[in-house]
Structure 1
Amino acid sequence: MIPNDTIIALATASGAGAIAVIRVSGKDAIAISAPLFRSIRGKDLATQKSHTVHLGHIMDGERTIDEVLVTIFKGPNSYTGEHVIEISCHGSPYIQQQIIQLFLRNGCRTANAGEFTLRAFLNGKLDLSQAEAVADLIASDNEASHQIAMQQMRGGFSNEIKRLRDELLNFASLIELELDFAEEDVEFADRNQFTALVDRIREVLKRLIDSFAVGNVIKNGIPVAIVGEPNVGKSTLLNALLNEERAIVSEIAGTTRDTIEDEISIGGIGFRFIDTAGIRETVDIVESIGIKKTFEKIEQAQVVIYLVDGIQVISDENRLALIKTELEKIRNKHPQKPLLFIINKADQISDAQQSKIAAELPSALFLSAKTGEGIERLTTELLNFVNTGALKNNETIVTNTRHYNSLLKALEDIERVKEGIDMGISGDLMAIDIRQALYHFGEITGEITSDDLLGNIFANFCIGK
């Protein structure tokens, strides 16, 4: 049910600032605002045109609260599809609260989290996947996640789903029609065309499902664990990557007792680097807990950087054999996980010594976390682990877990339809699976929803959006 009351909320970030924007939406938004606004030119707000801006004062009786700009958006040509008033006031928290409380006393209600966007969805201004993209856009903190959210908000993903759903719905209607004329043995749906359609839908669904692997890491950032023995330069490497003194660095082995995390953007992709405690045998209880967390972070990470001290390698002939054994253990335990093997302190190793190590460990990268030598090559290697081809080609990329689950279910139904066609089963049995596939398509765009689903989605929005 579409709500018909009028809501208000701060649309900009809370706290002090130069300007704050307060948003009002509902059928009475203009009627409530007009008596509380005194135009410097004596205009009546209730009679002004849509998409116009007016300078004046918000008045509580004869008390002036603030000089403001009021923008009018008349429904349905507004973000929510309702009448919307946006008040640009000075950014004092006191002024913000005074204006909001004044409107609450005059018939408004405080908006719930995401309620403005929920109303936009209920009024047909956005479909559900576009509405969810609004939250993703607000949360985007790198170029790639911003690009995906913008593409989805403009309807790229939902348009693709709608095309598939419409085509499938047309054939479903023909098959249902056949059932009505079952006694006449009439065939309305061309089975060859239907087979081609099902094959095309399967391919599109598989592509969208496969894109989630890339989309999920772009949206949430790629966790990278930096592991190795104590005092090999893990914290120095983290500081070099972040270009700041984020982790404490000392000559004392075991300085890092807990994991330290921070995120940066490389080539528009978010990477979350995790500096871990050095892996070694120890009787120190606190350090042991840190080492245990190190192995937990290796499990959680999508990329592992294994760092060794180049000076130790060239000074101990047995070191390379031990390193090879350790790398093999990690690869055997995590065969699908990218592993970067890095020799640190390259500034203190001669070219001849580097060549000798490279002959034994050809996959090794040489760098100096202290001087920054080789850091650029490391970031390039990290980007190579992310398939950004779809992003560069502006293809649809799935980032939402709810969409991913619905696509998986739709593909299962389409696979059953395909099997049914191949086996020549009757139209009434195929119609069941087609209906289920249509249902899961509708879940994505919001053509099929429930109050619980909408509640879960919009509860994660900020108030004011």
Structure 2
Amino acid sequence: MIYNDTIVALATASGAGAVAIIRLSGKDAIAIADRCFESVKKQKTLLNQKTHTIHLGHIVDDKRTIDQVLVSVFKNPNSYTGEDVVEVSCHGSIYIQQEIIQLFLRSGCRMANAGEFTLRSFLNGKLDLSQAEAVADLISSDNEASHQIAMQQMRGGFSSEIAKLREELMNFASLIELELDFAEEDVEFADRSQFQALVEKITFVLKRLIDSFAVGNVIKNGIPVAIVGEPNVGKSTLLNALLNEERAIVSDIAGTTRDTIEDELVIEGIGFRFIDTAGIRETKDVVESIGIKKTFEKMEQAQVVVLLFSAEEFKTESKRLKIEIEKIKNRFPLKPLLIIANKIDTLNVEELDRLNLEFEGVHLLSAKSGLGVEELKDKLIGFVNTGALRNNETIVTNTRHYDSLLKAFEEIQKVKYGLESGLSGDLLAIDIRQALYHFGEITGEITSDDLLGNIFANFCIGK
């Protein structure tokens, strides 16, 4: 891989717009931009300008003027990539964008690969690897919670916590390594009681970070919620009420929803992906049977299952409903099951009392009128442990980080066992080195071209 040439790419979204930004980075970025730029102030060259300055002028190809632009100059090392960077703000015509990019390519630039600007930032020490990954998470964040976590990680909250643990562990590792050099003199440089306390501290922090992944993963990817039940109980009406729009087709004909319908709703900063499925019932209709099969597939994929039944069903089929609930609980014992009674406006007070008595914890609702919809949203958010988010604690959202933390935790447990068993320093040092290795994988002290390629391939071009 070559990272010392000059790259160019469109930094704003592709397509026409009011303004577009074209970014260059590399040792010749300013010189290349200067050859194509004609300032409104004659004799003004970009090479002689101070860093973090903006200049008005025209991009010119020979004697042909392409566009009037603003050119921002950022000199190394005080730039995003740590190299000389130029950003050209031009009009957002697709034609103008391509003409300017092609001009820079002919002048000595190369088209940037996906994520190459951020990769150079990492290689030049402007960001560590976990911060670089947070850049991609920030770009793709689509709700308040995922944005908050990405911002915290990009600012180095997660990195600093890992770096501090790694530094403390490395200090003790150095002392234990020193003991090996004086093995014949039988001296101890590393206080074993202090080391034991450090291992306990690292174990506690690692467990907290590992446990946070369960919350972080759903915040980052959204929580899939399957809405299931018999046909014509109001699943589509409930989905429309939650989303506050006519997303699903509603009719009095049973089995109208023959395929799954998905949409998203953000509740208190957390994304929920609601899946309105075909009803569950015995049927000879081939098309509806396929929909019912998909219902069970979606229930398997969902993290929360909402079972919806109507007041009419309760009046006549209470026993069958209880059997249905048990079937779902037995088939998906680890999934939260929320039981909802819809169309409760058709029940009298006595019937409501009997409903609450027969179905403990049932949520009463009228999807048509909106009664109980807001309370349902509160119950859904209750399935997510948002305490860590509210307390601004570090939350792990990245699968690669999670895997490295698990491996580091495993090695720390070996170190802990070795200390308790009175293991010799040379054997302790092996496990400590492995733990340090996995810490280093997270922040990028230890990496490989293959790993970097996999990470930055998921970035957008221009970032």
TM-score (norm 1): 0.98
Range moving further from structure 2, 364-373 or 442-451: 364-373
CA contact (8 A) 2:115 2:458 kept: yes
Partner of 1:366: 364
CA contact (8 A) 1:116 1:464 kept: yes
Q: How does 1:367-386 map to 2 (within 5 A)?
A: 367-386=365-384
CA contact (8 A) 1:135 1:461 kept: yes
CA contact (8 A) 1:305 1:341 kept: yes
Q: How does 1:81-160 map to 2 (within 5 A)?
A: 81-160=82-161
Partner of 1:178: 179
Which amino acid in structure 1 is aligned with residue 388 of structure 2? A
SS of aligned partner of 1:15: coil
Looking at structure 2, the residues matched to 46 and 450 of structure 1 have their Cα atoms a distance apart, in angstroms, of 35
Which amino acid in structure 2 is aligned with residue 38 of structure 1? E
CA contact (8 A) 2:12 2:20 kept: yes
CA contact (8 A) 2:314 2:321 kept: no
State the 1:141 CA deviation: 0.3
2:443 to 445, 452, 463: 445
Which amino acid in structure 1 is aligned with residue 60 of structure 2? M
SS of aligned partner of 2:361: coil
SS of aligned partner of 2:204: helix
Range moving further from structure 2, 339-348 or 111-120: 339-348
State the 1:312 CA deviation: 2.5
Partner of 1:24: 24
State the 1:25 CA deviation: 0.4
Q: How does 1:258-337 map to 2 (within 5 A)?
A: 258-314=259-315, 316=316, 319-337=317-335
1:61-112 C-alpha deviation (Å, 9 max, x unpaired): 1111111110000010000000000011111111100100000000000000
Partner of 1:188: 189
Range moving further from structure 2, 336-345 or 325-334: 325-334
Looking at structure 2, the residues matched to 282 and 253 of structure 1 have their Cα atoms a distance apart, in angstroms, of 11
CA contact (8 A) 1:129 1:445 kept: yes
1:115-152 C-alpha deviation (Å, 9 max, x unpaired): 00000000000000000000000000000000000000
1:424 to 422, 425, 432: 422
1:413 to 411, 414, 430: 411
4+ aligned runs moved over 4 Å, structure 1: none
SS of aligned partner of 2:90: strand
Partner of 2:68: 67
SS of aligned partner of 2:284: coil
Looking at structure 2, the residues matched to 435 and 54 of structure 1 have their Cα atoms a distance apart, in angstroms, of 51
Q: 1:194 to 1:135 in 2, by over 3 A?
A: same
Partner of 1:395: 393
Looking at structure 2, the residues matched to 259 and 411 of structure 1 have their Cα atoms a distance apart, in angstroms, of 41
CA contact (8 A) 1:2 1:123 kept: no
Which amino acid in structure 2 is aligned with residue 387 of structure 1? N
Which amino acid in structure 1 is aligned with residue 220 of structure 2? K
CA contact (8 A) 1:308 1:342 kept: yes
SS of aligned partner of 1:116: helix
State the 1:400 CA deviation: 0.2
SS of aligned partner of 1:59: strand
Looking at structure 1, the residues matched to 451 and 118 of structure 2 have their Cα atoms a distance apart, in angstroms, of 15
Partner of 1:208: 209
TM-score (norm 2): 0.99
- Flag structure 1 segments of 5+ consecutive residues without an equivalent: none
Looking at structure 2, the residues matched to 41 and 233 of structure 1 have their Cα atoms a distance apart, in angstroms, of 69
Looking at structure 1, the residues matched to 449 and 150 of structure 2 have their Cα atoms a distance apart, in angstroms, of 24
SS of aligned partner of 2:65: strand
State the 1:2 CA deviation: 6.3
Which amino acid in structure 2 is aligned with residue 21 of structure 1? I
Looking at structure 2, the residues matched to 83 and 347 of structure 1 have their Cα atoms a distance apart, in angstroms, of 67
CA contact (8 A) 1:226 1:234 kept: yes
Range moving further from structure 2, 38-47 or 169-178: 38-47
Looking at structure 2, the residues matched to 28 and 238 of structure 1 have their Cα atoms a distance apart, in angstroms, of 55
- Flag structure 2 segments of 5+ consecutive residues without an equivalent: none
Which amino acid in structure 1 is aligned with residue 45 of structure 2? D
1:21-52 C-alpha deviation (Å, 9 max, x unpaired): 11110010000000111111222111111000
Partner of 2:257: 256
SS of aligned partner of 2:108: coil
Q: Report the RMSD for the aligned CA atoms in angstroms.
A: 0.9
SS of aligned partner of 2:195: helix
CA contact (8 A) 1:23 1:87 kept: yes
Partner of 1:461: 459
SS of aligned partner of 1:54: strand
CA contact (8 A) 1:80 1:119 kept: yes
CA contact (8 A) 1:151 1:157 kept: yes
State the 1:360 CA deviation: 0.9
SS of aligned partner of 1:55: strand
Identity of aligned residues (%): 75
Which amino acid in structure 2 is aligned with residue 9 of structure 1? A
Partner of 2:53: 52
SS of aligned partner of 1:385: coil
Looking at structure 1, the residues matched to 80 and 452 of structure 2 have their Cα atoms a distance apart, in angstroms, of 18
State the 1:387 CA deviation: 0.5
Looking at structure 2, the residues matched to 452 and 301 of structure 1 have their Cα atoms a distance apart, in angstroms, of 33
Partner of 1:7: 7
Looking at structure 1, the residues matched to 416 and 47 of structure 2 have their Cα atoms a distance apart, in angstroms, of 59
Q: 1:390 to 1:2 in 2, by over 3 A?
A: farther
SS of aligned partner of 1:296: helix
Partner of 1:38: 38
